Structure 1
Amino acid sequence: MKYTVDKKEQYVVFTPQEEKLDSSLSPKLKSELLTVHAEGYENLILDMSHVKYADSSGLSALLVGNREFNREGGIFVIVAPQEHVLKLIKISMLDKVFTIVDTLEEAAEAVFMHTIKTAGAEEEED
């Protein structure tokens, strides 16, 4: 699986450089997402702009990433899903589960807002 990883201070931008996210690639995607999380990053932005097709195993990989990054208070943001992928997400009603935005700028803002909200919730607990 070809991809790029851009590590920022607050988040990682993971960009699959593949047109299809199917059963042949989704195990590798799951593995890479878990590796990024294990490296200590709490927030991940998944740039889906190159992915034109996904199947149920591709969605499964996205759900694994979403669960891992949300488990400890982080955020998993999907950016720029192509029309077919977005339709599949909506048909599966996962648009209510995932944070989906159109641009990397919006994704960075979502991470920033999530961090502020999470920090505020922690202060209230103290």
Structure 2
Amino acid sequence: MELNSETIGNALLVTVCEPRIDAAVAIQFKDRMREVSDGGPDRVILDMSAVSFLDSSGLGAVVAVMKFLGKERSFELAGLTPTVAKVFRLTRMDSIFTIHPDLETAIAPLANAS
């Protein structure tokens, strides 16, 4: 599971570089997210703009990452493709996560804070 991460201001930006988060890679996704986010900034933004498919296992993995980060840290999603956004909407997870329409919107407050 390929993820790119970088710290921008007080946020960790993690970009998913895979087209699918499904049963085949859900455990790898969780493990990699734990690795890159452990001990990092209090705000974590997951850029999912390259993800065109997310199944229930993938959704469970995203929720597991949120639980791993805990209530002290903010876990936000950005750039959901229409198919992935539909999964969040149908499961009502869109009311649990902060979802930004794109990465630029998610990181705009960081640019303004500088």
Alpha-carbon deviations, 1:91-120, whole Å to 9, x = none?
A: 1110111110112232235679xxxxxxxx
Question: Aligned letter for 2:19?
Answer: E
Contact 1:43 1:111 in 2 (8 A): no
CA distance in 1, matches of 2:107, 2:74: 11
Q: Which runs of 5+ in 2 are unaligned?
A: none
**Relative to structure 2, which stretch is displaced further, 102-111 or 41-50?**
102-111
1:62 is paired with a residue whose SS is helix
What is the TM-score of this pair, normalised by structure 1? 0.78
CA distance in 1, matches of 2:27, 2:110: 26
Report what 1:2 is aligned to: 2
Q: Which runs of 5+ in 1 are unaligned?
A: 113-126
2:9 is paired with a residue whose SS is coil
CA distance in 2, matches of 1:92, 1:111: 30
Structure with the bigger RCO (C-alpha within 8 Å, sep 6+) is 2
**Relative to structure 2, which stretch is displaced further, 31-40 or 87-96?**
31-40
Structure 1 ranges of 4+ moved more than 4 A: 109-112
Report what 1:11 is aligned to: 11
What is the TM-score of this pair, normalised by structure 2? 0.86
Contact 1:42 1:72 in 2 (8 A): no
Larger strand share, 1 or 2: 2
Identity %: 26
Report what 2:88 is aligned to: 89
